[in-house]
Structure 1
């Protein structure tokens, strides 16, 4: 090496050592960040487990399930979170009887209970479970995605809706699968999207059809929602399990729920301004004889739920708390809209009335 090459070689060595130092510093920083991330993840997991195992601060009692009651999913923080529970029909804010069964959605007639569940593990799965009056499993079947809606008919039929993709009815591009089974697990309908859709007597075959929100009339007939974004419709339909048809009744009706006297449907009405990117659902009631709609604007919040009838005069639905999104309450609202909503069952979701 000549004298003229020495400075250049020295500069190269210094540059290489600088690169090595920077790489070493980056490696150390990466390890520190990784260690911090692992520590935070472990800490959060431990905190979450501690919260889940802490006693839920609710009053409990026995014997409630043996009398008229409202069954629901408990959202009281702690060890009872997610469990199916019940309060007395004449004391909705009173003590609750809690079962060992964990559900995302629940529906019951007192003799049979349907529970939709998310089973989290290495691979998360979803299922529908049918239980008898002693809370023993009598049937199960898989769901294709996140549980959304469940309805049990007095005739032994079970309607379930699950999201195949997407996480909310307010999102574009979501896909649902709605089916009807017997309580023994036998598939009655297949995917309701495959039924013949008739609008004004004409067959309609939208490629982006979605069906959800079944409410039963009898062992053959039901109401539900059918939406086609490409056609710009969200129809109330009357379904026929024998004819395998869905006949449109009215546009703009989502998640219908038949009143105990069979004369009205409660549903969620999109009250958002025209052209709005997101929906704002307000409870409404449809008179089936006149097709007259009464929007219950005494409720100003966004009610994204399938409403339940407490009786012929009162509606029930779930709402998340603003400051505790994991905690929901079941609210009541007069079906004629003459009074504001009130909390009916605190720390609850998915109510089902059992008389």
Structure 2
């Protein structure tokens, strides 16, 4: 992606120099015995630097040659909430590199990091923050709500995020979501997709209870997909950023995520009225509009991401604590879920 100009939108607190990379310590997570061992590493995420490196603490070292799995650490302690990365081939047992950047939701693409986080304690303020390949903060946007979803286009140009304006879940009465978009090249900012025209069955749709969430981008940096909810229904919307227009493609689609090859969407399909188990991950073929339920039968409230063209990944909450683990499952409906990385959420893949 072309170099991004340093720019700030909304409220800004502190000096941008504070966001520069600093020396930090990585922590070795061996999930099978739950032991953290402090080791010295360079600050920042090595995958963002676009070069190979070796990880201390692993017998014989580990050379990063391709992609990295980046996610939010859910390990209780000083690194809780910080962004970490692991080699994809051995993410569940590998030594994660810990960054200095805390995020509530995150997404990485082409050397760009989108990080949603709240600052302050009693009166916290949420921000959407964008970092370049050296983990220098280049944009900071004040957002009025609770961070919920984060996405970037494949080349890192287009950023989108979803927040809860009030309430704290889709199943909470009165919950309201807002989806925002930012063109990191031109600086064009859309505070809410409610400013776009939305069409259902060929007619302009108007209602007081419209909500949008779960944005995902195609490769052209203009076309996107998102969920629209209103009157107890949800629709898969196909959007045109330049035209500020969205068109409904089908009902009962939530939190879509486009495959790397652009041919399929994985989404949450509502399969039950039981608020404890409402969803099933499903893949939609955009050419045939055929749906394939995935082998993950747990009801998971997440915007799944793609590990590669044949595998999707997502966070499954722990049953006995506030944490979560990352799982992966084949995108063709075969196989079974497998543990991808313990104690993580908000996963994405960076290129090496």
User: TM-score by structure 2 length?
Assistant: 0.80
Are 2:302 and 1:302 aligned?
Answer: no
Are 2:216 and 1:215 aligned?
Answer: yes
Are the structure 2 counterparts of residues 160 and 78 from structure 1 closer, same or farther at C-alpha, using a change threshold of 3 Å? same
1:161 aligned counterpart, secondary structure: strand
- Hey, what's the Cα distance between the residues in 2 that align with 1:91 and 1:200? 46
Tell me by how many angstroms 1:183 deviates. Answer: 2.9
Tell me by how many angstroms 1:219 deviates. Answer: 1.3
- Hey, what's the Cα distance between the residues in 2 that align with 1:352 and 1:55? 20
- Hey, what's the Cα distance between the residues in 2 that align with 1:105 and 1:61? 26
Tell me by how many angstroms 1:210 deviates. Answer: 0.3
Question: For this pair of structures, how many residues does the alignment match?
Answer: 296
- In the TM superposition, 1:151-230 aligns within 5 A as 151-153=151-153, 154=155, 156-183=157-184, 186-217=187-218, 218-228=220-230, 230=231
> Once the two structures are superposed, what CA deviation does each residue of 1:140-196 show, in whole Å capped at 9, x if it has no partner?
011111000010111511001111011001223211111111236934333101211
- Hey, what's the Cα distance between the residues in 2 that align with 1:316 and 1:289? 23
Q: Give the gaps of 5 or more residues in structure 2.
A: 1-26, 30-34, 52-63
Are the structure 2 counterparts of residues 58 and 240 from structure 1 closer, same or farther at C-alpha, using a change threshold of 3 Å? farther
- Hey, what's the Cα distance between the residues in 2 that align with 1:244 and 1:89? 37
> Once the two structures are superposed, what CA deviation does each residue of 1:294-326 show, in whole Å capped at 9, x if it has no partner?
112x322221000001011111000111122x2
Coordinate RMSD, CA, aligned: 2.0
Decide whether the 8 Å contact of 1:55 with 1:78 is kept in 2: no
User: TM-score by structure 1 length?
Assistant: 0.79
Tell me by how many angstroms 1:236 deviates. Answer: 0.1
Higher relative contact order structure (alpha carbons within 8 Å, sequence separation ≥ 6): 2
> Once the two structures are superposed, what CA deviation does each residue of 1:56-115 show, in whole Å capped at 9, x if it has no partner?
734668585244201110001111110000001222121100000000011111411010
- Hey, what's the Cα distance between the residues in 1 that align with 2:348 and 2:286? 23
Are 2:121 and 1:125 aligned?
Answer: no
Are 2:327 and 1:331 aligned?
Answer: yes
- When you count strand as a share of all residues, which structure comes out higher? 2
Q: Give the gaps of 5 or more residues in structure 1.
A: 1-53
1:207 aligned counterpart, secondary structure: coil
**65-74 or 127-136, larger mean C-alpha shift:** 65-74
1:16 aligns to what? none
- Hey, what's the Cα distance between the residues in 1 that align with 2:166 and 2:185? 27
Are the structure 2 counterparts of residues 251 and 61 from structure 1 closer, same or farther at C-alpha, using a change threshold of 3 Å? farther
- In the TM superposition, 1:274-289 aligns within 5 A as 276=274, 280-289=278-287
1:99 aligns to what? 99
2:140 aligned counterpart, secondary structure: strand
Decide whether the 8 Å contact of 2:283 with 2:291 is kept in 1: yes
Are the structure 2 counterparts of residues 279 and 207 from structure 1 closer, same or farther at C-alpha, using a change threshold of 3 Å? farther
Are the structure 2 counterparts of residues 185 and 137 from structure 1 closer, same or farther at C-alpha, using a change threshold of 3 Å? farther
- Hey, what's the Cα distance between the residues in 2 that align with 1:55 and 1:98? 9
- Hey, what's the Cα distance between the residues in 1 that align with 2:268 and 2:178? 20
Tell me by how many angstroms 1:279 deviates. Answer: 5.5
Are the structure 2 counterparts of residues 210 and 299 from structure 1 closer, same or farther at C-alpha, using a change threshold of 3 Å? same
